[in-house]
Amino acid sequence: MFKTRIGCLALTAMLAAGMMTGCGGKENSREQEATPTAEATQAPEATPTPEATPTPEATATPEPTPAKQTSKYEIPDIVMEAKEVPDTDAFQFTKDMKIGWNLGNTLDASDCTWLDDELKYESAWCGVITMPKLIQSVKEKGFNTIRIPVSWHNHVSGEDFEISEVWMARVKEVVDMAIDEGLYVILNIHHDNNEEYYYPTSEHLDTSLHYVSSVWKQIAEKFADYDDHLIFETLNEPRMVGSNFEWWINPSDASCKDAVECVNKLNQAAVDTIRATAGNNPTRYIMVPGYDASPDGALNAGFVLPEDTVENKLIVSVHAYTPYNFALDEKGTSSFDSDKASDVRGITEFMDKLYDRFIKNNIPVVIGEFGARAKSGNVQDRVDFSVAYIAAARARGITCCWWDNNAFIGTGENFGLVDRAPMKWRFEEIVTGLMKYAESVD
């Protein structure tokens, strides 16, 4: 796990440009903290500067209209045979979600112990606070779902893990920004996976069940009256953090079997808690992951969906930065060609397994995190990957959400698409590629 600490005023611009990464992925954790230098204090939140209003006498000279530029990147065509997808309300629901974008490295920032104000967590990793114009821009680009990862453990107190009112209120503000734009919203428990809160082993199960139940009761009650545009996701990548099996499962290992069973119990506790609250929660759509949220975790023989009091309202949650050697591995290849069957097979093979186990059996799947990190000079490769990934997913009735951590600088896990401080989309062609088959592969 790689962690960097940045906090001085002199580095504020670097923060805003997306130095920090921060989310657990399939193969390793993208959790990166910001820490102040010896003399520095946390930079103040940026306040948007209102545009100047010209005086009545002033007449602005229009700037010349720049010539339209042709992109040097191509958006490839993909031939992808569409598989049969169940004609049910649940699959229509996930189809309507279309394609999603993650507000990563934001409300999910955690363990920022140098902060003197819990509301500063929101900008501790990404460098900026969330503004309505960002959410509006995400909507305008064609995304119809926004996943809002939230870490709660730094904002709870007491034996029953009571959530801070100011933190809950801020989470609600951000959720409302997306709901107001007509977006679907996925709200979860994110970087809370440790032994003090929840940890999927029998040794820590009592504390884990108490934490998950307590936190979800409070979240569910706060958002009870929101309609089905709000989706709850029980856990984020539940795993044995720090163990030899953090990011993979040995089916014959006793600790792995135990962890898979504990994830099932935690999912069940979350679903039971949500269903027991009022408003729309008894019938709300809920996403549930397997061990570490990987395809292998969902496909593991020990993974089972929770028992539910309502039919067809559970969605399997998967994270898949696949093929790993291209999408996530720093030392892997920087090349991906949508015309190469071997490259595309790195995507379709795991999706076919998800299709066979879940889609065929009337269980929807949402890939809540995917993406391909930037590597030197590989924008066209990432475009090809994006087109192929979404085409393959939509052909199987799967909806996907790109992981955006507002990271662009250096050689780290740079998954950013939109640079939030200047509100500039840095990779327009990738977005165009994502949208090409987001509706359908027909």
pTM: 0.86
Q: What is the pLDDT of residues 170-207, one digit of tens each?
A: 999 999 999 999 999 999 999 999 999 999 999 999 99
Question: Residue 220: pLDDT band by 50, 70, 90 thresholds?
Answer: very high
165 a catalytic residue: no
Q: What is the predicted pLDDT for the residue at 71?
A: 77
Catalytic pick from 237, 261, 413, 429?
Answer: 237
Give the chain's mean pLDDT. 88
Q: What superfamily in CATH does domain 9-37+76-436 come from?
A: Glycosidases (3.20.20.80)
The answer to whether the Cα torsion of 428, 431, 435, 441 is positive or negative is: positive
Q: What is the pLDDT of residues 8-54, one digit of tens each?
A: 333 333 333 333 344 443 333 343 333 333 333 333 333 333 333 33
Q: pLDDT over 90 for what percent of the chain?
A: 83
CB atoms within 10 A of CB 410: 13
CB 319 within 8 Å of CB 350: no
Tell me: pLDDT of 375 over 80. Answer: yes
Sequential DSSP letters for 274-325: HHTSSTTGGG--EEEE-GGGSHHHHHSTT--PPP-SSTT-EEEEEE---SHH
- Strand ranges in 28-176 using DSSP code E only, listed in sequence order: 29-31, 99-102, 145-148, 156-157, 162-163
Catalytic pick from 27, 233, 369, 413?
Answer: 369
Rounded CA-CA distance 57/313 in Å is 61
Catalytic pick from 153, 190, 191, 319?
Answer: 190
Q: Which residue has the tokens 């990166």?
A: 32
Tell me: pLDDT of 387 over 60. Answer: yes
CB atoms within 10 A of CB 36: 17
Rounded CA-CA distance 31/21 in Å is 6
Domain boundaries, the chain: 9-37+76-436
Question: Residue 94: pLDDT band by 50, 70, 90 thresholds?
Answer: very high
Q: How far is CA 325 from CA 27, 76, 372, 407, in A?
A: 10, 22, 10, 19
For residue 76, whether the previous peptide bond is cis, meaning omega lies within 30 degrees of 0, is no
204 a catalytic residue: no
What SS3 class is residue 379? helix
Q: pLDDT over 70 for what percent of the chain?
A: 84
Q: What is the pLDDT of residues 275-294, one digit of tens each?
A: 999 999 999 999 999 999 99
Question: Residue 120: pLDDT band by 50, 70, 90 thresholds?
Answer: very high
229 a catalytic residue: no
Residues ≥6 apart with Cβ < 8 Å to 351 = 392, 393, 396, 398
Mean pLDDT within 255-262:
98
Q: What is the predicted pLDDT for the residue at 70?
A: 65
